[in-house]
């Protein structure tokens, strides 16, 4: 059994990860840490997992943890991981970081969007951006895997084939996304109170959301030149789910069939992508699963494509993709322990 | 007291209208009709209005109704109003139609998007598009007022100043909207069931929603030449509210101050528009009111403006604007009987 | 105009109160205080009331406030009001306290359930329990009005006629209630986060909720001897509303008609009570209103009556009843400025 | 592999069952029928199960189905199953009926509560009430298993140990329950529309809900004499979940320890029951699982016990218990293929 640990185990992403690891047939959880609940059992905080995981939560200690685990998952606020990970830790333990610290390869971009200094710039070169469908080959050998953000996973996967095949004008990309409230995490904020979110819909982070440079980094890699995107997230009164509605101007001559071909070429064999064509995804169709569902519409009238992707922000957008990364890295079957189907309504 | 009637009184828009009219200080409701509930009292269907409106619902009969009312509101599925309204009816009764039949001035556009023949093309010339802030002068003398759609009201009001002042590239307009479920009406459809909508978010009507030509008609009028827009509605699990996130490429040289000036120039004195600048609207801030709240962000990085408007789809997007039209037409104070403020959370 | 102030103006009950007072035709708001937001404008915190109330929030100072207001409303955590109100303050200012401090006439009961010492026991004798329908005569002359709790208002009004008319066994009373989340207030608690409340239903405060002694005090007064009740609150994933399902064993010989008579005798002329008979209330029917709707079922099989009451916890359960108390105390029409009807869905 | 079929496969209970069977390691689905969608693929209706179950739906034909399946599940409106099941069918196929037809052993009670004639009274004697924890021994040999109702499963399991151990007065039982909206099924009813359920809470079926006689039958069996219960269901704006708050007067001398002992004695080894003691269940803790979570409070003040049970109405309350019955009947491990844990928030 692979010995695994989670630091930040009682947040929403962390606890979703514990839940997946506890049911994973090749994993043994040997370490869980939580700053807020150290000393309590995990199942005291999450009683619905009583019997599945009753470990006592430790104070967060990356050094200690790296000695107890072969794979250590970090689910921490940005800035913390980069101040704690060292070459020495990486020499004995695979780190899968669910936070933002190792996602942006250019530390000046990180520092400009996150308004904080990066604590371990020298490690950025060896970190691998853990968007499994795009970087599978590099993940196999990585000891530092930067698990992508939720909006970014959904948006990049939705747009990648269109850019890779040169079907759209890269200056025209607009990504209008919406997320359930669990994306805001389990912290005591007025803005996350039930009565502040329920029965309302709003945009936030307009023009300056931190997932923007992450999307741009990856789409630029695919295109081979710099891409700017317009990214606007919204908050939806539901627990889970992200939907990204992506707009792009079609290049001259591009047909509906070209679009369909692009998606099937890139994703036809992907176990965690469900192509829906013109029957579009809804967030409920992927709730609780590690699937990214993608549909699209060709608009002959406006000469645009509207591509729509959807994921569960806590699974394919966080904990599930982290497990998928572990599976790839450890040569397990890629979807082992990952739910792929959901019964509606859930 | 002005004698008013409503045909289609038990749908969501119709009943919201009855509720406003029942509380309006210059109105007496003299006629209510409902195909589904003829013979019952209005308050049997809406017990929360018992004592406010207990009229018996009639079978729908526009002829009869037009003899009992000075102003008759129609809240009917498209196609019905245009088959029933005649010059004779308009000679004795002001018609405010909440449906789509008289909104599009070009009947061929109507017939192409609605896939049905228009029943009274000869009346289109005299109908006035009842978007109060844009057509106030014409509404004063109109006997046939086409109350705008919900998405259209929100989207047109949000974009109008930018086009009127020539600040944006009219080929770049993308309107990404979201609505609460009451927009789908009170009919027995699987898609409107609680368990089909709750805890999910989806796009629908992508590339072909019928509010598209209505938006294009009005924005073209403002611009002075034809405009195509990309309009994508989404469904949010909440009862009420629309938010439109509108994207436009800025023309060279346009500054943040130009945008602010445009909104203040056009809407500075509008009683039903609340300008929020860079503190963006949320649907809960306008719930139950006749307000359209508008905010915007200038993106120097991408040279775009993101303008965001929000309304209550049943009030400013339907019943409230219908009353606002009545107030203008009948020389009442424009906001008489219209709620403008809301206490959160509601 | 009556000069009014609110201390604790930015909580949910406080802000609902500001919203009602701002629209009240005989009131001028002269003072608002908020510990958390002193120095900001009220409408900075509640942008949907911009233009309705833009006063700057003061630090909470009951002494100062009592000089600026004829009626001062307190919406504070328990324990604070009783430490600040004095005879001197009451000599120049009517106090309507939305908190718990002056509701229980027996300070030892207060201290036992609230685990804190009462700060002004000498004032308890002159305080009046402001459940308007039961204590209207005393309210007219009171300078210290203890506005009842939300669950208590609903539960007492629902059961009072049955006890007053001697129809039920007073040892058999079980009150099973449920409330929307706004009842928990606007404080930063994990338990009130969207994702902790949404899509779930739970009981809380079982056997020991603090509204229990308040219900017992009032029902005992009506009966003329001590009553114990079983009271169990639940949390419902919605913003507003309380519904109390009350069970009582019928005394021998009591008929369905006796029950109906009791309700009509006691409430037939009450402007804020809507009797619904066997068509039972739902919380949406009273949302945003100052109405308590009451229905009931006679169960011949089990010889019980199930009486069901419903209110909006922030209106009839807090802010609205406070205004109703003010109206009674100041000889205004009792429902002046109070919404009594709602259009569904809101 | 066990060949299984489902008739009524596209309703909420039916589709939840298909989802469980599709993932069950010892089951092969060989037949699915749906009156509404015959001819379509199951995954056309439930796209989130595309790849998990793509069978074509048949017209409902119990005869035909019984030839293709070793176990046939029926998820039909009441009255249908009893008109179609025969001795001959039972001779070749195990029937697990999720409907009401074979639950009540006394056909006159059935006919009185359901207002319809029973179609196969002669089969009632051999039918077994499939509440697994109570009737495991009989289920092992049954060919006709009546899967219990959702409210009944929750209520009976919560109260059974208290009655079995003689701790409570059987004339005092009050069951106050609440359910998510999926309990109303997937049919086109105004009452089940999003905007009619959302943001509201109501009681329904007060004094006459059809699950009452089912609860009484089973509790009477346990007690050894007739029991009447007061059962009141409520509707909660959430997809899934039932919580039953059960009140009972304690017999003289019964202590808190007696209650705890009773629950541990009866359920200490039950794999699908989670005893929570005084930390009470919430519906989210069992969402998506086959668990019945039970907690309780001893009220020394009122001499009552309040016992609270919670299940997922579609799993332990329908599809999951049906699979549990199949597992018992077919000598599989009892929880095979049944989810027992959930990660919150889901």
> Which chain D positions have a beta carbon within 8 Å of A50's beta carbon?
274
What is residue C162's predicted lDDT score, i.e. its pLDDT?
A: 98
Residue in chain D closest to C296 (alpha carbons) equals D206
Dmax (CA) for chain B in angstroms is: 63
What pLDDT, in 10s, does the model give residues A42-81? Answer: 999 999 999 999 999 999 999 999 999 999 999 999 999 9
Which of A69, A93, A150, A197 is catalytic? The answer is: A150
Asked if C119 contacts C83 with a C-beta cutoff of 8 angstroms, the reply is: yes
Which D residues in the span 216-235 are in contact with C, Cβ-Cβ below 8 Å? 228-230, 232, 234
Residue C238 CA to residue A168 CA, distance in Å, equals 44
Classify the C-alpha dihedral D67-D68-D73-D79 as positive or negative. Answer: negative
Contact A192 C193 (CB under 8 A): yes
Asked if B230 and A176 come within 8 Å (Cβ–Cβ), the reply is no
Q: Does C176 touch chain D (CB under 8 A)?
A: yes
Q: How many B×C Cβ pairs under 8 Å?
A: 85
Query: For an interface test with A, which of C11, C13, C194, C284 has the most A Cβ atoms less than 10 Å from its Cβ?
Result: C194
Which chain C residue shows the shortest CA-CA distance from D230? Answer: C302
Q: Quote the CA–CA distance of A148 and A161 in Å, as a whole number.
A: 18
Length of chain C, please? 346
Which residue from A176, A199, A230 is facing B239, i.e. has the nearest CB?
A: A199
Q: How far apart are the first and last CA of chain B?
A: 32
pLDDT band at D81 (very low <50, low <70, confident <90, very high): very high
- The token pair at D232 is 């009141």
Of the candidates C109, C46, C118, C115, which has an alpha carbon nearest to the alpha carbon of residue C81? Answer: C118
Q: What percent of chain C has pLDDT over 90?
A: 100
Best residue of B207, B229, B301 to probe chain A, by most A CBs closer than 10 Å: B207
- Best mutation target among B181, B191, B193 (most D Cβ atoms within 10 Å) is B193
- CATH of segment(s) C151-311: 3.30.360.10
From the candidates D53, D69, D150, D272, give the one annotated as an active-site residue.
D150
CA dihedral for A318, A320, A324, A327, sign (positive or negative): positive
Of C48, C199, C345, the CB nearest to B182: C345
Question: CB-based contacts of B134: which residues, under 8 Å, 6+ apart?
Answer: B156, B160, B218, B222
Closest residue in D to A312 (Cα) is D346
pLDDT of residue B186: 96
Of all residues in chain A, the one with the smallest CA distance to C186 is: A190
Range 109-148 of B in CB contact (< 8 A) with A: none
Considering only alpha carbons, which residue of chain C is nearest residue D207? Answer: C299
Across the interface, do B239 and D12 touch by the CB < 8 Å criterion?
A: no
Contact list in A for residue B174 (CB cut-off 8 A) is: 174, 247
Q: How far is CA A5 from CA A9, A79, A148, A326, in A?
A: 9, 20, 19, 12
In whole angstroms, give the CA distance from residue B243 to residue B281.
8
| Confidence band, pLDDT 50/70/90 cuts, at residue C58 | very high
Confirm or reject contact between D22 and chain A (CB < 8 A): yes
Contact: C206, D302; criterion CB under 8 Å: no
CATH architecture for residues A2-126 = 3-Layer(aba) Sandwich (3.40)
Q: Which chains touch D (3 or more CB pairs under 8 A)?
A: A, B, C
Q: What is the pLDDT of residues D317-336, one digit of tens each?
A: 999 999 999 999 999 999 99
The pLDDT of residue B346: 95
Torsion over CA of B307, B311, B317 and B319, rounded to 10 degrees? Answer: -160
Indicate yes or no: CB of B201 within 8 angstroms of CB of A308. Answer: no
Cβ contact C239–A194 (<8 Å):
yes
Residues of A whose CB is below 8 A from C196: 194
pLDDT tens track for B225-276: 999 999 999 999 999 999 999 999 999 999 999 999 999 999 999 999 999 9
A202 in reach of chain C (CB within 8 A): no
CB-based contact A201 B232, cutoff 8 Å: no
Say if the Cβ atoms of D239 and B12 lie within 8 Å. Answer: no
Closest-CA distance of chain B to residue D43, Å? 16
Which chains pack against B, by 3+ Cβ pairs within 8 A? A, C, D
Check residue C36 and give its pLDDT.
94
- Chain A contact for C45, CB < 8 A? no
Over the stretch B14-71, which tens digit does the pLDDT of each residue have?
Answer: 999 999 999 999 999 999 999 999 999 999 999 999 999 999 999 999 999 999 999 9
Residue A67, token pair as written in the block: 């000695």
**Per-residue pLDDT tens for C152-205?**
999 999 999 999 999 999 999 999 999 999 999 999 999 999 999 999 999 999
Query: What average pLDDT does the structure give for chain C?
Result: 97
For residue C283, the distance in angstroms to the closest alpha carbon of chain A comes to 16
The chain C residue lying nearest D240, using CA atoms, is: C199
CB contact under 8 A, A343 and D49: yes
- Contact call for C186 and A182, based on CB within 8 A: no
Chain A hits for C192, Cβ within 8 Å: 193-195
User: Given a contact as 3+ CB pairs under 8 Å, which chains touch A?
Assistant: B, C, D
> Which residue of A lies nearest to B242 if distances are taken between CA atoms?
A201
Q: How far apart are CA B43 and CA B47, in angstroms?
A: 5
Question: Residue A331: left if φ>0, alpha if ψ -120 to 50, beta else—which one?
Answer: left
Contact (CB<8Å) C188/A188:
yes
d(CA D203, CA D176): 10
In 3D, which of D61, D68, D58, D67 has the Cα closest to residue D28? D68
- The H-or-E segment that residue B296 falls in is strand B292-299
Domain extents in chain D: 2-126, 151-311
pLDDT, one tens digit per residue, over B261-320 is 999 999 999 999 999 999 999 999 999 999 999 999 999 999 999 999 999 999 999 999
- Name the D residues in 152-171 with CB < 8 Å from any A CB: none
CB D221 within 8 A of CB C263: no
Over residues D168-224, the pLDDT tens digits come to 999 999 999 999 999 999 999 999 999 999 999 999 999 999 999 999 999 999 999
How far is Cα of residue C251 from the mean position of the Cα atoms in its chain? Answer: 30
B20 phi/psi in degrees, rounded to 5: -70, -40
- Any CB–CB contact under 8 A between B199 and chain C? yes
Q: Looking at the complex, does the CB of residue A210 fall below 8 Å from at least one CB of chain B? A: no
Q: How far is CA B123 from CA B82, B94, B95, B144, D227, in A?
A: 9, 13, 12, 8, 71
B237 with D198: Cβ contact below 8 A: yes
Mean pLDDT of chain B: 97
Q: Distance (Å) from the C-alpha of residue A199 to the closest C-alpha of chain B?
A: 5
Instruction: Output the pLDDT for position C301.
Output: 97
D261-282 pLDDT, tens per residue?
999 999 999 999 999 999 999 9
Q: Residue A81 and residue A97: Cα distance in Å, rounded?
A: 8
Residues 232-291 of C with CB under 8 A from B: 239-240, 274, 276, 279, 284-289
Chain segment D221-248, per-residue pLDDT in tens: 999 999 999 999 999 999 999 999 999 9
Nearest CA in chain C to D280: C203
Phi, psi of B233 (to 5 degrees): -90, 155
- Residues D55-77: what's their mean pLDDT? 97
Q: Which band of pLDDT confidence, cut at 50, 70 and 90, is reported for residue C242? A: very high
Q: DSSP string of D8-75?
A: STTSHHHHHHHHHHHH-TTEEEEEEE-TTTTTSBHHHH-GGGTTT--PBPBPP-HHHHHHH-SEEEE-
Residue from B155, B158, B159 nearest B169 by CA: B159
Give the count of alpha carbons within 13 A of A274, CB side only. Answer: 26
* Residue B114 and residue B149 in contact, taking contact as beta carbons nearer than 8 Å: no
Place of tokens 């207001």: C69
For residue A342, give both structure tokens.
Answer: 């959901």
Q: Are C51 and B15 within 8 A, CB to CB?
A: no
Q: Where are the beta strands (DSSP E) in D139-266?
A: 144-146, 174-179, 202-203, 230-235, 242-249
Low pLDDT (below 70) residues in chain A: none
Predicted confidence band of residue D94 (pLDDT cuts 50, 70, 90): very high
Q: What is the pLDDT of residues A170-227, one digit of tens each?
A: 999 999 999 999 999 999 999 999 999 999 999 999 999 999 999 999 999 999 999 9
Does the distance separating the beta carbons of B237 and D195 come in below 8 Å?
Answer: no
Q: What is the interface pTM, i.e. ipTM, of the complex?
A: 0.97
Q: Smallest Cα–Cα separation from A143: which of A198, A69, A51, A76?
A: A69
């Amino acid at each position: 059994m692979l010995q695994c640990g989670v630091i930040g185990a009682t947040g929403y992403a962390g606890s979703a990860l514990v839940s997946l690891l506890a049911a994973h047939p090749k994993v043994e959880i040997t370490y869980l840490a939580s700053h807020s609940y150290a000393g309590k059992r995990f199942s005291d905080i999450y009683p619905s997992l009583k019997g599945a995981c009753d470990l006592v939560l430790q104070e967060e200690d990356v050094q200690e943890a790296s000695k107890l685990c072969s794979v250590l998952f970090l689910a921490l606020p940005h800035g913390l991981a980069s101040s704690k990970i060292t070459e020495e830790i990486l020499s004995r333990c695979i780190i899968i970081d669910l936070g933002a610290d190792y996602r942006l390869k250019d530390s000046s971009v990180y520092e400009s969007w996150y308004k904080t200094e990066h604590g371990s710039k020298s490690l950025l070169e060896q970190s691998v951006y853990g968007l499994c469908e795009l970087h599978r080959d590099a993940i196999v050998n990585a000891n530092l895997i930067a698990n992508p953000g939720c909006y970014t996973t959904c948006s990049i996967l939705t747009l990648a084939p269109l850019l890779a095949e040169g079907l759209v004008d890269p200056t025209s990309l607009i990504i209008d996304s919406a997320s359930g409230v669990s994306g805001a995490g389990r912290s005591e904020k007025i803005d996350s109170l039930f009565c502040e979110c329920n029965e309302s819909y709003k945009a936030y982070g307009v023009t300056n959301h931190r997932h923007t440079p992450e999307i741009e980094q990856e789409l630029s890699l695919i295109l081979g030149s710099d891409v700017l995107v317009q990214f606007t997230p919204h908050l939806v009164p539901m627990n889970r789910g992200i939907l990204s509605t992506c707009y792009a101007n079609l290049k001259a001559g591009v047909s509906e069939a070209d679009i369909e071909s692009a998606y099937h070429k890139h994703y036809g064999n992907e176990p965690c992508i469900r192509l829906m064509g013109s029957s579009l995804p809804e967030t409920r169709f992927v709730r609780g699963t590690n699937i990214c569902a993608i549909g699209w519409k060709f608009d002959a009238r406006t000469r645009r494509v509207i591509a729509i992707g959807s994921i569960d922000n806590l699974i394919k957008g966080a904990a599930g993709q982290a497990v998928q990364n572990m599976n790839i890295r450890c040569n397990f079957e890629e979807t082992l322990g990952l739910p792929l189907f959901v019964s509606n309504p859930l």
